[in-house]
Amino acid sequence: MTEEYRDYNDINDFSSAKNDTADAKNNPAVDAITNIAMKNESLKKQRISVNQTDKQIPHNLEIEASVIGAILKNNNLLEKADILKPEHFYAPENQILFKWILELSGRNQLASPKTLSHLADNEPAIAELGGKEYLASLASDVFNVVNVAEFSSTIEDLFVKRQLITLGEEIILDGYNQNIENTGDKQIEKAEQALFNLAETGDTKQQIIGLGTALNQTLEQAEKAFLNPSGLAGITTGFRDLDKHMGGLHKSDLLILAGRPAMGKTSLATNIAFNAANAYSTEVDEKGNKVSNGGVVLFFSLEMSSEQLATRIISEQAEISSNKIRLGEINEEQFKRLAEKSSKLSNTQLYIDDTPGISVTSLRQKARRVQRQHGLDLIVVDYLQLLQGPAGKRFDNRVNEISEITRSLKIVAKELNIPVIALSQLSRSVEQREDKRPMLSDLRESGSIEQDADLVMFIYRPEYYIAESPPERRVNESDDKFMERIENHNSKLSESRNKAEIIIAKQRHGPVGTVELFFNGKFTKFGDLDNQHYED
């Protein structure tokens, strides 16, 4: 990579620019080009001088040979090198040998100098070193085989360092790309995504946990729920029946909230986000543990501005129409109520990012920053289809891009150890059925959405569809029959008024089913379904 980098600098040698501009001293534009050329030539010399130092690319051929030789001598030691892949080795011959070892091991065959000798003699990279004699020397030169695990960690660490050097050089080269679309922000996103990919591929040190340890973790969660007055192990949604069915919002879970337009997806997500943030507290129990049903929430609003979202929240809490707030059609008492609510809610730990068309890479970057600065317990994304795929990646179609986005969101949930709620659209196939209740197959550009999600819930308001389809008089229908159908329609409409069904179609940790909530369309506010809501 270093030599390629040096060639790149030679291609961009600006010395000719100085010669071409020697006869144009009075031209400001030419002077500017000359200055840039001189600066770039100076930078080039500095970089070449750095490359020409005695610094070597990180590697250790002796350790690589020791690991290969030890495994060839005793194949059982491959278990201690389970973090390694062929590309982790620096020497091409060692990459090839380790690949052969893995292939034979995968077929339950012995990998030894004898079983690999015919391959070694026909592989130029190994034949140059002596072929089968080289393999025999690797195994015979091994004296200490107890360090295979430690040596393997060193090999992997050196590989990561080499990748970082390569990545750093690519970032520098990208910085010289003056394409108008290659903005600084996009370059940062690409660099972050590359670092994330490197961290992800290098994340092979995840500890294998025994059943006993896992059971202790389960008991800790059960104890937390048992001692919590609300009975929740996760973060509250603010809705009694929904919390009871789900047990709250659990760490590392990806939750999909989907529905057709006008069902109230954003309203429900906003309600959940506010309820969780509003329930956040920093009380500490006798054991020194923080006791809280809520948490710090980060809301990515890709469709609405932060001001619009804040207006919705204050409208819900003050129970004043958001349209009246926006138009200023409120009286003195309502304005006073708005001011009081705003003051009371100003310290709520809810953060909003309304960057349009944000990429999933940038989302992760911002989430990590909020977690460092404020702590972070929940992410809400409104909505999935407005997110862009990881920076620097090309996709054949939108379905593949959405699949990569949902996979990335699941990784963010696991990495930050918090629940992530992502809103999603549904396909129009819902409208073509008599029963408009959504199903998993209705997820738009589904693919991996259902697969990656730990929980999928749909929002369905029967009142909306009943109101949209009043009975029409049939040919030759009598007045009595028509009036009977109108009465049945009005009865269904009355029964469904202010009701919303939350259909839990998939839940890894619990049962599926339907939870009914109260919905007040005037204030776009959801609540627990009980009789007091109908006293109005």
pLDDT for the residue numbered 379: 94
pLDDT for the residue numbered 12: 39
Q: Which residues pair with residue 518 across a beta bridge?
A: 499, 527
CATH 1.10.10.10 fits 56-205, yes or no: no
How does strand 525-528 pair with strand 290-291? unpaired
CA 200 to CA 470: how far, in whole Å? 55
Domain range annotation of the chain: 56-205, 239-460
Which helix (H) or strand (E) covers residue 256, if one does? strand 254-259
CA angle 503, 465, 474 (to 5 degrees): 140
536 vs 55, 497, 498, 532, CA distance in Å?
78, 12, 11, 8
What dihedral angle (degrees, nearest 10) is formed by the CA atoms of 244, 247, 248, 254?
Answer: -130
Match 């809301």 to its residue by tokens: 299
Which helix (H) or strand (E) covers residue 163, if one does? helix 148-175
Amino acid at 515: V
Record the tokens describing residue 151, joined without a space. 């040596």
pLDDT for the residue numbered 43: 41
Task: Tell me how crowded residue 301 is: count the other CB atoms within 10 A of its CB.
Answer: 26
pLDDT for the residue numbered 226: 56
Smallest CA-to-CA distance from 426 within 396, 455, 460 is with 460
Which helix (H) or strand (E) covers residue 506, if one does? strand 499-507
CA 474 to CA 482: how far, in whole Å? 8
Q: What is the 3-state secondary structure (H, E, C) of 378-407?
A: EEEEECHHHCECCCCCCCCCHHHHHHHHHH
pLDDT for the residue numbered 218: 59
Contact 420, 413 (CB under 8 A): yes
Q: In 3-state terms, what secondary structure has residue 336?
A: helix
Residues of the chain with pLDDT under 50: 1-53, 204, 531-536
- Give the DSSP letter of residue 207: P
What size, in residues, is the chain?
A: 536
Record the tokens describing residue 407, joined without a space. 């996979």
Record the tokens describing residue 200, joined without a space. 């992800």
CA 334 to CA 325: how far, in whole Å? 9
- Rama region for 252: left / alpha / beta (φ>0; ψ in -120 to 50; rest): left
CATH code: domain 239-460 is: 3.40.50.300
CA 443 to CA 187: how far, in whole Å? 33
